[in-house]
Amino acid sequence: MNNILSNRRNVDYAWLILAVCLFMMMCTQGTRTAMGVFVTPMEEDLQWSRAEISRVLSLGILVGALSFVAMGYLQDKYGSKKVLCCSLVLLGATVMLTSTVNSIPAFALIFGVLSAFASSGVSNVTIHAFLARWFHKRRSLAISIASAGGSLGPLFFAPFTAYLIQSLDWRASFLVTGAIILLIVFPLTVMFLRDNPPDRKASSDLSEEGQSEEPEKEPVGPLFTTTWTQALKTAPIWQLSTAYWVCGVTVNIISIHFVPYAEDQGVQKIVAASIFGVMMGLNFIGVLSAGFLSQIFTQRIVLGTAYAMRGLAYACLLLIGGIEGLWLFAVIGGLSWIATASTTSAMTADIYGVRNLGTINGVTNMFHQVGGAISVFITGEIYGATGSYMIPFTFAALTLIPATISAFSVKERLYSYRYNPVDSPIYSTR
């Protein structure tokens, strides 16, 4: 009886942890993703060119990329809570400090280096790996729910920061958003997060009566790793990383340049930010749908379909144009935006296990951010030379073709423990 009650408490606490992770993703990802709203006000106030701002933002994405593997390794070695808490303090402080910048070097150091480094510790790399330890059977769904915070964040923060900028100024907006991270998100993380479940079983493995539905020994996949370098010798990580590189190209270019692109077409800032916010809000539906569908279909089918939908969204943006093209992109793109992140993380966990998941997630996410850094930088340079977004947006659209092919080509039924569990003498989940 006591064991049943203890298991039930583990179930309840896991969902509480998931709620905290969702809120954490909402605030941290919302703050970073809403950066596009700041481009034109900083451009006008500080007399910086859009290319100069884009260089700093691309630097931030690149620094984040190089930090992912390190943050994943630190998480695997020292635990999630320490990494998340330290990262939140540094992120909140640097966002607030961004309000003081008056030069490109200061902006590059504070936002492009320090804040980017901190954000890598509160990202899909760390949060998805953390949740994978708490959830087993419903891993895809749990990671998708947490990722939904990444869509709710911009839904709130994009119009919220735009309102603060119009009512006060861009400096006050940075102060407020940084304070939210320090004074609300950080205390919640300290109070409620635990590195691992009290017992070996994840919460989602428990029945209504609190008894395990699985045999005592967890299933092991054929590619479950004892060291993260083993994963680099297998095909799935490179297929997922290739597709994720394209994901970085196609989402970061929009995160930074969507609002300026809309403004260039005569759309008011608050309207452009609202369209962007709606797009991010639709991620909530898209990512949850991906989580549910991953319980029914193979994850590679869900992932490949998401990339194909994003390609269709880009086609609408480029071929239809105007306010109609913006809204069609927001609707179609929004449904596929974060769905790729949650599905990639869940598939990675199912193929390689959780022992070195932080580091392995760091590798795939590094590819994502490198793609993002390249796209943001090149877009800023091309815009500076041509005054148009047509060339970089077209390039981004075309990259979604190989991404879709790469996602569909993952041999999930061969390598995922969900379809091919094996007994391993060298791997243990304890």
- What is 303-353 written as a DSSP string? HHHHHHHHHHHHHHHHHT-HHHHHHHHHHHHHHHTTHHHHHHHHHHHHHH-
Q: How confident is the model at residue 238 (pLDDT cuts 50, 70, 90)?
A: very high
Is the per-residue pLDDT at 430 higher than 50? no
- Which residue in 193, 229, 199 sits closest to 216, CA to CA? 199
* pLDDT averaged over every residue in the chain: 80
**Which tokens belong to 329?**
């992109």
Instruction: Tell me the C-alpha to C-alpha distance, in Å, between residue 221 and each of 203, 234, 264, 346, 428.
Output: 20, 13, 51, 14, 11
- Which residue in 160, 185, 138 sits closest to 26, CA to CA? 185
Residue 294, by phi and psi: left (phi above 0), alpha (psi -120 to 50) or beta? Answer: alpha
**Percentage above 90 pLDDT, the chain:** 19
Comparing 287 with 84, which gets the higher pLDDT? 84
What 8-state DSSP symbol labels residue 354? S
| Helix H or strand E segment including 9 | helix 2-33
- Domain boundaries of the chain, sorted by first residue: 2-204+219-415
**Alpha helices (H) in 98-200, listed in sequence order:** 104-107, 116-120, 124-134, 139-167, 170-180, 186-192
Burial class for 105, CB neighbours closer than 10 Å (0-12, 13-18, 19+): exposed
Q: Would you state the pLDDT for residue 179?
A: 92
Least confident of 137-151, 231-245, 253-267: 137-151
Mapping DSSP to helix (H, G, I), strand (E, B) and coil, where does residue 197 land?
Answer: coil
Q: pLDDT of 17-71, one tens digit each?
A: 888 888 888 888 777 767 777 878 888 888 888 778 878 887 887 887 788 778 8
**Alpha helices (H) in 215-338, listed in sequence order:** 235-264, 269-293, 299-319, 322-336
Q: Would you state the pLDDT for residue 428?
A: 40
Tell me the Cα Rg of the chain.
Answer: 21
Is the per-residue pLDDT at 248 higher than 60? yes
Q: pLDDT of 155-209, one tens digit each?
A: 777 778 888 888 888 898 889 989 999 999 999 988 888 877 665 444 444 333 3
**Which tokens belong to 417?**
């423990």
**Calpha distance 63→229 (Å, rounded):** 22
Q: Would you state the pLDDT for residue 88?
A: 93
- A 10 A CB-CB count for 430 gives 5
Four-residue CA torsion sign, 307, 309, 315, 320? negative
Residues paired with residue 422 on neighbouring β-strands, in sequence order: 220
Q: Under a CB-based contact definition with an 8 Å cutoff, are residues 83 and 71 in contact?
A: yes
End-to-end, the C-alpha distance of the chain in Å comes to 24
**Calpha distance 204→238 (Å, rounded):** 29
**Percentage above 70 pLDDT, the chain:** 89
CATH architecture of 2-204+219-415: Up-down Bundle (1.20)
**Average pLDDT estimate for 239-251:** 90
